[in-house]
Structure 1
Amino acid sequence: MLITTDQLYHKFQECTGISTDTRRITPDCLFVALKGANFDGNQFAEQALAEGARYALVDDVTVADRNPQCLLVSDGLTALQDLARHHRQTLTIPVIGLTGSNGKTTTKELIAAVLSKKYLTYATVGNLNNHIGVPLTILSLNEQHELAVVEMGANHQKEIELLCSIAQPTHGLITNVGKAHLEGFGGIEGVRKGKGELYDYLAQHGRTVFINSRDKTLMAMYRERLKTLRSDTVFAEAIFYPAVEAAAVEAAAVESSETPIELLQESPVVIYRDSAGQAITTHLPGRYNFENMTGALAIGDYFGVSPDEANHAIADYNPTNNRSQVIPKGTNTVLLDAYNANPSSMAAAIRQFAATPAKRKAVILGDMYELGTESEAEHTALGKLIAEGKFDLVILAGKDMQYALPFLPKAYYFPDKFSLHNWLMDNPMTDTHVLVKGSRGMSLESVVPFI
């Protein structure tokens, strides 16, 4: 017999947590059996129970019939999402929803670091930001948490809409709109529409939005919603950072962040001047990370975190997740930004690195994925941009990086990483700043031991 969402929630309350992976079973957790193209979690339900799970949520009647601890639903993924929605409705804490083409995870970590100075804050763990990860994040919240920061990723339209229906954010921020997941979104306008689904939710439910006033695309998206939505469905507040532009004051409730900061240095790491005139040195490079910092500081200011504590949180944040990591390697310095890449983030990183003062500079760049029919054109454009950087050494890896080669006659090109690793071992670098960046599927962090 199928279990209802309400019945399932009562069972969930008996559990200590939730897991979709038998390698991560904790005592008395709820195991959720999910299915994919090459796996069926139902086949691992009894293993999960044997390893200590209290219940297993399954959608295979034959598995459910074998064990009374198996809870039968018609679809495991849908049941997981419905369970998360049910749990979210029991929570009264602020939930900050966060999306964007680039910088989501770094911004999420910075926001969480700032808010944690005053509140017991829970933030998305790692990159659990999709149709499975967001429900797991929501179900990890309990009555002790005072604030939540939920990262929402998407590679097609209507996905952010779905994630908003689960996370039900009370506040939200879009980092930017760029050329990411073009294949799934159907082009840059599709990306704009898809990311804008967060603004749609916040406006339609009278919630608070944080907007980077220096981002013309985000400002335009905000104004569009003011014009098209009915007067009874508009943002509760629009908080602009780092300042309110005169043209932005169109809403009934518009405020400015009380944290005016100024960028003093963007490489090799960001240094900014805070509202009290102090210079704050961070561990993150680049103007793009400065934009992430301003968002985190604006949210901290809104929630009453003192400027001193917020600045300490930003200054202390040191990434360890293959994003904007500065790694000393002998006489070399590696800027590892290999968690992901798309044309927008790649261009920002290359321009930033080109402006970085260094005796000798090298770039090791890998393919940008999920560009569909635009891949050849985007990798070609990237070749032109790399050439403008006038780097001392250019190393390219991956199938589509071949399209960048016509503009880089002195570049070294490797279709596979094995050849790249061997070349790096045979040609050691010294006194060199090295940028390493590529899409997740390239896993270019593997080159660091060879530099």
Structure 2
Amino acid sequence: MMERFYISHLLQIPAVSHVGLADRTKEPVNNIVIDTRKVKDGDLFVAINGANIDAHDFIDESVVSQAQLCVVSKEWYTQRGHEYHNGSFLVVEDTTTTLGQLARLYRDEFQIPVIGITGSNGKTTTKEMLKSVLSVKHQVCATSGNYNNLIGVPLTLFTLRRNHDIAVVEMGTNRPGEIGALCQIANPNDGIITNIGYAHMEGLSTLEDVAKEKTALYKYVANRGIRYINADDSYLASQKVVAGQNVIFGMDGNADVRIAGYSTNDSGSTVSLEVGQNTRCDVSIPKLGRHFAYSVAGAVAVGLQYSCGLDEMKEALSAFHGAPGRMDVFRVGENTVIDDTYNANPSSVKAAVDTLDDLTTDCDKVVVLGDMLELGHRSAEYHREVGEYIAGSKVMTLMTYGSDSKEMSDAFSEIRSVKAAHYTDIGELTRTLIECMSVRTILLVKGSRSMHMELIVEKLKNSVPVT
């Protein structure tokens, strides 16, 4: 149940009209929901017109009678409002905008620090690590999954409760101005940006555009709190000279939390950190990938500012698993499978291939890649570039699936004497892969979320006993 939120708050929201709210200003709001199937007595229902579904289409008498109030568009109310004489409505121009305004009002009821996090890669993992380290001392409210857009961020803020003393809010973007809008909703005190890379390039055409969009978080918190800066990212390093309070992490010799070393094996990674002048510690995590070192360093940098002990944070990170599909390792017979199927872009694919290169093994190294989506008009170019990158690695075999990924296999084949295999049928690819697994291999599976590469992983798990 939400706390300290009443009908009176809604009267602060710009609206076309208020219907049925007279003499109800002191009534509390139990919860704010956007799914008609989840509406309960005392809830406020916001009808979102989404990319695939318009929630207005599911409003009926049961929803209106059960909800304490429905937030609806002017267009819907003009056409259908007369059908519900006993309903209470907040009629607005845009319900998604109103959802954000409600979230900001609710967030401001809590005088606690909010840490905003964004970046091209690793923001969800870093957010989960932040939650882990901060939880050793604090009650943390954090984004669930990757609820990081103009709908997800408000839903995260609505989960704030009286016992929370800090919040971690993930912010995503695929077009200019979205990070700024999310900052207006979440009102963060501090900001951390993981890196700048090739992701969501359809709405952000160049890396300069990505950097400008992401660093809107730094601009928002500049005079409010701390900017946590990855000094090894060339686009972010320039932010060190901007006035304000900065905490630096990375391999840079002047970093407040310096990555002094990294090692890996097929069960996890160890990151050596130097904190200040005299303190060094080794943090072991059950995740593969040198890129996780930056998530560890960033999380520790934030934790130290919020009085979390180094030993306690180290212990918390040693038990960290995070969300599935992010460099998860399991055995299939005598083979090792790395499940990195959650998502993919050029930067994250290269990082995953680097991780594979880091592993010392006599097994054949095989990479299975699906299309990298949302790369805009230069998609074919980016796929070809990744194929060339893999050709220069220790990978023995490349198998691709989808459409643009054929550019990867073609580029790989042109450089290597071994021809890469491209598939347009995920079932055929999976069957071929299972046959290949009779030879000892270490296999990396990765692709954009919509390519459903996790289906391959599930088939592999079911092919032979998993350890």
Equivalent of residue 4 in structure 1, options 11, 14, 18? 11
Equivalent of residue 418 in structure 1, options 427, 435, 438? 427
Query: Structure 1 residue 398 and structure 2 residue 412: aligned?
Result: no
Query: Structure 1 residue 42 and structure 2 residue 56: aligned?
Result: yes
Secondary structure of the corresponding residue to residue 117 of structure 2:
strand
How far did residue 280 of structure 1 move? Answer: 3.3
Distance 1:318 1:108 in 2: 12
Residue aligning to 1:230: none
Residue aligning to 1:321: 324
The residue type paired with residue 271 of structure 2 is Y
User: Mind listing any 5+ residue stretches in structure 1 that lack a counterpart?
Assistant: 227-233, 247-255
Equivalent of residue 72 in structure 1, options 83, 90, 114? 90
The residue type paired with residue 368 of structure 1 is M
Residue aligning to 2:248: 240
Note if contact 1:338-1:438 (Cα within 8 Å) is conserved in structure 2. yes
Distance 1:283 1:12 in 2: 50
Residue aligning to 1:32: 46
Q: Which moved more, 1:155-164 or 1:263-272?
A: 263-272
How far did residue 243 of structure 1 move? Answer: 7.8
Matches within 5 A, 1:283-362: 283-358=286-361, 359-362=363-366
Distance 1:341 1:201 in 2: 28
How far did residue 25 of structure 1 move? Answer: 4.2
Query: Structure 1 residue 82 and structure 2 residue 101: aligned?
Result: yes
Deviations 1:388-441 (A, max 9, x none): 124232110110011123333321211232322333345444432111111111
Residue aligning to 2:264: 266
Residue aligning to 2:452: 443
Residue aligning to 1:250: none
Equivalent of residue 211 in structure 1, options 199, 207, 229? 229
Matches within 5 A, 1:54-69: 54-59=68-73, 60-61=76-77, 62-67=79-84, 68-69=86-87
Residue aligning to 1:175: 194
Equivalent of residue 133 in structure 1, options 130, 152, 168? 152
Cα distance, 1:220–1:21 mapped onto 2, change above 3 Å: same
Note if contact 1:319-1:325 (Cα within 8 Å) is conserved in structure 2. no
Task: Specify which structure has the higher proportion of helix.
Answer: 1
Cα distance, 1:438–1:11 mapped onto 2, change above 3 Å: farther
Note if contact 1:180-1:343 (Cα within 8 Å) is conserved in structure 2. yes
What is the percent sequence identity of the aligned residues? 36
The residue type paired with residue 384 of structure 1 is E
Residue aligning to 2:3: none
Q: Which moved more, 1:44-53 or 1:378-387?
A: 44-53
Residue aligning to 1:433: 442
User: TM-score, normalised on structure 2?
Assistant: 0.85
Residue aligning to 1:95: 114
User: Mind listing any 5+ residue stretches in structure 2 that lack a counterpart?
Assistant: 1-9, 414-418, 461-467
Deviations 1:289-331 (A, max 9, x none): 1111000011111100111110011111113421121222232
Distance 1:47 1:370 in 2: 40
Note if contact 1:210-1:241 (Cα within 8 Å) is conserved in structure 2. yes
Distance 1:320 1:23 in 2: 26
Q: Which moved more, 1:291-300 or 1:268-277?
A: 268-277
User: TM-score, normalised on structure 1?
Assistant: 0.87
The residue type paired with residue 390 of structure 2 is I
Residue aligning to 2:381: 377
Note if contact 2:371-2:404 (Cα within 8 Å) is conserved in structure 1. yes
Secondary structure of the corresponding residue to residue 287 of structure 1:
coil
How far did residue 371 of structure 1 move? Answer: 1.1
Residue aligning to 2:141: 122
CA RMSD of aligned residues (A): 2.5
Secondary structure of the corresponding residue to residue 377 of structure 1:
helix
Residue aligning to 1:365: 369
Distance 2:205 2:323 in 1: 33
Distance 2:425 2:65 in 1: 40
Note if contact 2:104-2:184 (Cα within 8 Å) is conserved in structure 1. yes
Number of aligned residue pairs: give it: 427
The residue type paired with residue 17 of structure 1 is N
Cα distance, 1:267–1:314 mapped onto 2, change above 3 Å: same
How far did residue 187 of structure 1 move? Answer: 1.4
Distance 1:355 1:244 in 2: 21
